[in-house]
């Protein structure tokens, strides 16, 4: 019997953890009870039955082991969120589809619960996984450096990188066997969907877990190709009810939003996941800078005309003490820019404020062989999509605090990308607190905002002049709120349908996970 069991992320968007379990009755009466329900222990035989002695061998793998977020976690206690509340003795391996925290965040707790198998993942994921977990451990697990290093050491030892497109045997026994193959999912660097060839006795089946799938025509990564076979398919459904704007449209929409937002000299704040979307955005912004170079981002005359509305009354041409503070973290003070010199795309300031995003941007740069053809062609032509000269990366907490304070007071047009993507923590929260109350600033959402997160509230209530609660306090939203939908790293409805439709023989069963109920 081959079971697919979901230990997380069935109704909600986050917290993925699925199991593929092969049980095989080897002697006597087989318990062919197919009503295996979630949470029931299939290892235990029904005590009311009195069959001949039966031994059931049971082995399985986990696909992802993620943390819960948003509403999903509100209905659960913190301990419930972290607990590994299912049997793991029979789990032979963990397969990681990609390093987003809602897919890997509970790995330390899985290890603590006694899991001692390998962690199978793609080659880029093998590089990124210890980095993301180090961050997660520091934030949520312990401050004990030695303990963190020990856990990371265990994780590094367990990681088994498997190249895309190659079968890897997890176990091969008389009664059963299981092998897995990873294919590019186009979601973030290293992301994979997992093909599982399982055998229970004479019965064979291929089960495919999509992980998170990328959108078509997304920057940097090749789009996923449908599996050649999937008898059963477990597929994400984040955008099951929505289509994304196409690449060209969203690129010019991004341009238009940036122009509009920078017109009044405020900050454009883009909450984004450190991994994936941040790099996609940098790639697109670099593209806009390369294309429009000397063109003005905004009509400077128009900006002067609206100057009277500046609530802080500060003069953009006045150099302030804050400029020298900003200089301390290497930002060229554009407050110096003479009034007559308009802001062009070439001197648009872009800030990535996140040590984690900085680290992952570097890893992305190092792993160019995994980029798509278009991105590699740009590099060959001498461009640097992820390290252009207008880009400033803020690492230390002190520089972060200075940047928040400075940008909140100055009239300096600037694009800031900071995490977390749903505004539920991270450095973006400090920016929001400082900037939401000022109409010159703009918040630009480029990714999915789960119900129950501050990001969803800003998106819902911001345009109506509402407020959002951040770390227990209310903040009025006067900043403008925009969305450019196409930058989701998730497949849209059409992409999902194309992925399923491309499977030559339709799957006998498709399970939808990782999406709101409507989606
Ligand atoms: Zn993801």
* pLDDT at residue 327 in the model: 44
Distance between Cα 8 and ligand 1 center (Å)? 14
Distance between Cα 134 and ligand 1 center (Å)? 18
* pLDDT at residue 9 in the model: 57
> Under the phi-then-psi rule, with left for phi > 0, alpha for psi from -120 to 50, and beta for the rest, what region is 414?
beta
Distance between Cα 321 and ligand 1 center (Å)? 41
In the predicted model, what is the mean pLDDT of the chain? Answer: 84
Is a pLDDT exceeding 90 seen at residue 442?
Answer: yes
Distance between Cα 490 and ligand 1 center (Å)? 7
Distance between Cα 298 and ligand 1 center (Å)? 35
* pLDDT at residue 71 in the model: 54
Give the whole-angstrom CA distance, residue 481 versus residue 181. Answer: 42
Distance between Cα 489 and ligand 1 center (Å)? 7
* pLDDT at residue 262 in the model: 80
Distance between Cα 511 and ligand 1 center (Å)? 18
Distance between Cα 376 and ligand 1 center (Å)? 23
Distance between Cα 158 and ligand 1 center (Å)? 22
Distance between Cα 98 and ligand 1 center (Å)? 7
Distance between Cα 165 and ligand 1 center (Å)? 20
In 293-343, which residue ranges form alpha helices assigned H by DSSP?
300-305, 321-328
Averaged over 211-237, what is the pLDDT?
A: 93
Give the tens place of pLDDT for each residue, 460-470.
Answer: 999 999 999 99
Is a pLDDT exceeding 60 seen at residue 64?
Answer: yes
Distance between Cα 55 and ligand 1 center (Å)? 39
CA dihedral 247→102→351→308, nearest 10 degrees, is 80
Distance between Cα 218 and ligand 1 center (Å)? 14
DSSP designation for 11:
S
Distance between Cα 238 and ligand 1 center (Å)? 10
Distance between Cα 143 and ligand 1 center (Å)? 26
Tell which residue, 107, 93, 122, 103, has the closest CA to residue 192: 122
Reported confidence tier of residue 336, pLDDT bands at 50, 70, 90: very low
3-state secondary structure of 499: helix
Tell me the C-alpha to C-alpha distance, in Å, between residue 220 and each of 37, 57, 376, 377, 408: 41, 44, 8, 11, 32
CB-based contact 422:238 (threshold 8 Å): no
* pLDDT at residue 401 in the model: 96
More confident residue, 444 or 69: 444
| pTM exceeds 0.85, yes or no | no
Query: How large is the C-alpha radius of gyration of the chain?
Result: 25
């Amino acid at each position: 019997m081959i079971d697919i069991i979901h230990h997380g992320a069935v109704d909600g968007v986050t917290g993925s953890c699925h199991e593929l379990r092969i049980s095989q009755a080897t002697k006597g009466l087989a318990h062919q009870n197919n009503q295996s329900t979630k949470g029931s222990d299939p290892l235990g035989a029904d005590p009311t039955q009195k069959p001949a002695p039966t031994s059931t061998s049971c082995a399985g793998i986990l696909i992802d082991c993620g943390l819960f977020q948003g509403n999903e976690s509100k209905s659960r206690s913190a301990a419930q969120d972290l607990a590994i509340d299912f049997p793991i003795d029979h789990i032979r391996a963990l397969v990681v589809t990609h390093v987003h925290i809602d897919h890997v965040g509970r790995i330390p707790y899985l290890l603590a619960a006694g899991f001692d198998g390998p962690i199978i993942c793609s080659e880029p994921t093998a590089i990124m996984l210890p980095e993301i977990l180090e961050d997660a451990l520091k934030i949520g697990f312990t401050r004990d450096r030695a303990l963190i290093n020990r856990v990371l050491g265990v994780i590094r030892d367990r990681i088994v990188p498997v190249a895309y497109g190659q079968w890897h045997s997890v176990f091969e026994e008389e009664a059963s066997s299981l092998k897995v193959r990873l294919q590019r999912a186009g979601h973030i660097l290293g992301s994979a969907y997992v093909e599982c060839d399982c055998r229970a006795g004479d019965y064979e089946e291929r089960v495919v877990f999509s992980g998170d799938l990328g959108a078509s025509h997304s920057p940097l990564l090749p789009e996923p190709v449908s599996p050649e076979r999937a008898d059963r398919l477990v597929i994400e459904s984040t955008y099951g009810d929505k289509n994304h704007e196409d690449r060209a449209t969203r690129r010019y929409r991004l341009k238009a939003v940036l122009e509009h937002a920078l017109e009044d000299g405020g900050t454009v704040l883009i909450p984004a996941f450190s991994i994936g979307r941040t790099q996609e955005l940098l790639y697109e912004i670099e593209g806009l800078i390369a294309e429009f170079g000397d063109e003005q981002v905004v009509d400077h005359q128009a900006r002067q005309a609206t100057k009277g509305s500046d609530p802080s009354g500060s003069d953009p041409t006045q150099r302030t003490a804050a400029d020298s503070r900003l200089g301390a973290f290497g930002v060229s003070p554009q407050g110096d820019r003479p009034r007559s010199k308009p802001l062009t795309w070439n001197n648009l300031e872009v800030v990535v404020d996140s040590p984690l995003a900085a680290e992952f941007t570097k890893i992305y740069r190092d792993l160019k062989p995994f980029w798509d053809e278009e991105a590699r062609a740009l590099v060959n032509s001498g461009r640097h999509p992820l390290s252009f000269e207008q880009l400033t990366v803020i690492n230390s907490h002190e520089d972060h605090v200075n940047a928040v304070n400075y940008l909140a007071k100055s009239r300096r047009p600037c694009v800031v990308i900071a995490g977390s993507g749903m505004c539920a923590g991270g450095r973006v929260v400090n920016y929001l607190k400082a900037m939401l109350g000022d109409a010159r600033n703009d918040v630009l959402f480029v990714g999915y905002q789960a119900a129950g997160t501050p990001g969803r509230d800003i998106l819902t209530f911001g345009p109506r002049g509402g407020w959002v609660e951040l770390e227990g306090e209310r903040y009025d939203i006067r900043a403008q709120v925009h969305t450019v939908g196409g930058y989701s790293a998730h497949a849209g409805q059409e992409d999902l349908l194309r992925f399923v439709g491309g499977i030559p023989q339709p799957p006998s069963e498709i399970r939808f996970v990782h999406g709101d109920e409507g989606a």
